[in-house]
């Protein structure tokens, strides 16, 4: 696909994959460069990588690794106006199929999202690689996927635009995919984790790989996001959360969303039992956030001021309402950890 290919590779993979690529490319007419991703999807990292790519006249980008690596590859290719491919090494997020990339500060604070002009040429997910990744990444992807259906329902209720083009009304197919994502995760999630722990690729593992990556990505892109991802963004205002994964923060955001929407008790109970069983965080303490007025206010303020995601909820959103939902969600989570 390209004569001068740039591989942007997660740091822990860089040395081994770079050596393998040298062997693969040595007898071809194509060239490659491998760049070691420095760990944060921020403007300075994007600029650093693009300068290297320009010098080498790169005509195809390949992002190999986790969510921030993939988002950085997308943004670099978008700036250079060249095609890109995505090779995730885990299923911790739906970033591989998303046309949206999330921008952070150099310190890891969420700054916003950016829409890119095109999707990837292809997404290559190797199940053998995925089951070799830490279980925590697999579980975090389930946290991200769980929110898809709830956020789709909220966006439908408020008639909020999706992320196709400049934003359109969601289609029936998008809603069906979002629901299938939720059903698949609840049906196959626990069996998949048990298989993963034994290093086995089973049908349940394959189904969760598809749900975490494809169904979640197509689902949110065609329906929309709301409180779960909005509160995820708010949580990044507290520096102690930066070491936690996207899907882990989205999981607590989903607990907040259920409180905010007054979700029926039976549905809350089913979901909370599932989340605690597989190890997703349902309290602030599990995200290393001390429950103080200052911290919760900081989260609520960033949620309501720095992004518009939570305004897809079908109710009047205020900072105080979000503050109350976070406190109540934390108390709810504690009851399931006893």
10, 71, 78, 232: the active-site residue: 232
Residue 242 catalytic? no
- Residue 94 catalytic? no
Catalytic residue check, 232: yes
Cα distance between residue 245 and residue 127, in whole Å: 21
Report the C-alpha gap between 177 and 163 in whole angstroms: 15
User: In this structure, are residues 77 and 83 in contact, taking their beta carbons and an 8 Å threshold?
Assistant: yes
- Catalytic residue flag (residue 246): yes
Out of 110, 221, 229, 330, pick the active-site residue: 229
Question: Which one of the listed residues 10, 144, 188, 330 is annotated catalytic?
Answer: 144
Q: Whole-angstrom Cα distance, residue 295 to residue 327?
A: 11
C-alpha span between 1 and 16 (Å, rounded): 23
The CA angle 112-117-118, to the nearest 5 degrees, is 115
Please say whether the beta carbons of 333 and 283 come within 8 A. Answer: yes
Angle between helices 246-261 and 265-278 (to 10 degrees): 160
> Active site residue: 78, 110, 221, 246, which one?
246
What is the set of active-site residues?
144, 229, 232, 246
């Amino acid at each position: 696909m390209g004569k001068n290919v740039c591989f942007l590779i997660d740091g822990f993979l860089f040395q081994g994959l770079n050596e393998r690529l040298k062997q693969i490319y040595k007898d071809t007419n194509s060239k490659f460069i491998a760049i070691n991703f420095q760990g944060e999807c921020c403007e300075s990292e994007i600029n650093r990588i693009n300068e290297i790519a320009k010098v080498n006249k790169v005509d195809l980008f390949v992002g190999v690794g986790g969510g921030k690596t993939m988002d950085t590859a997308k943004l670099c290719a978008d700036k250079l106006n060249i095609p890109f491919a995505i090779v995730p090494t885990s299923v911790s997020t739906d970033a591989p199929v998303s046309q949206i990339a999330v921008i952070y500060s150099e310190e890891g604070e969420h700054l916003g999202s950016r829409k890119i002009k095109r999707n990837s040429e292809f997404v290559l997910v190797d199940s053998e690689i995925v089951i070799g990744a830490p279980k925590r990444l697999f579980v975090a992807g389930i946290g991200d996927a769980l929110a898809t259906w709830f956020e789709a329902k909220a966006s439908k209720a408020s008639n909020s635009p999706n992320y196709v083009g400049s934003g359109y009304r969601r289609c029936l197919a998008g809603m069906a995919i979002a629901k299938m994502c939720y059903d698949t995760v609840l049906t196959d999630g626990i069996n998949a984790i048990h298989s993963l722990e034994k290093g086995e690729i089973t049908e349940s593992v394959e189904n969760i790989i598809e749900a975490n990556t494809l169904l979640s990505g197509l689902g949110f892109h065609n329906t929309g996001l709301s409180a779960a991802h909005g509160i995820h963004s708010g949580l990044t205002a507290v520096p102690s959360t930066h070491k936690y994964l996207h899907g882990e923060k989205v999981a607590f955001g989903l607990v907040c969303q259920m409180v905010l929407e007054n979700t029926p008790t039976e549905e809350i109970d089913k979901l909370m039992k599932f989340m605690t069983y597989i190890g997703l965080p349902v309290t602030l303490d599990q995200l290393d956030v001390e429950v103080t007025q200052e911290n919760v206010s900081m989260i609520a303020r960033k949620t309501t001021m720095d992004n518009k995601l939570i305004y897809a909820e079908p109710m009047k959103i205020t900072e105080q309402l979000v503050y109350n939902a976070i406190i109540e969600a934390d108390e709810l989570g504690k009851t399931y950890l006893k």
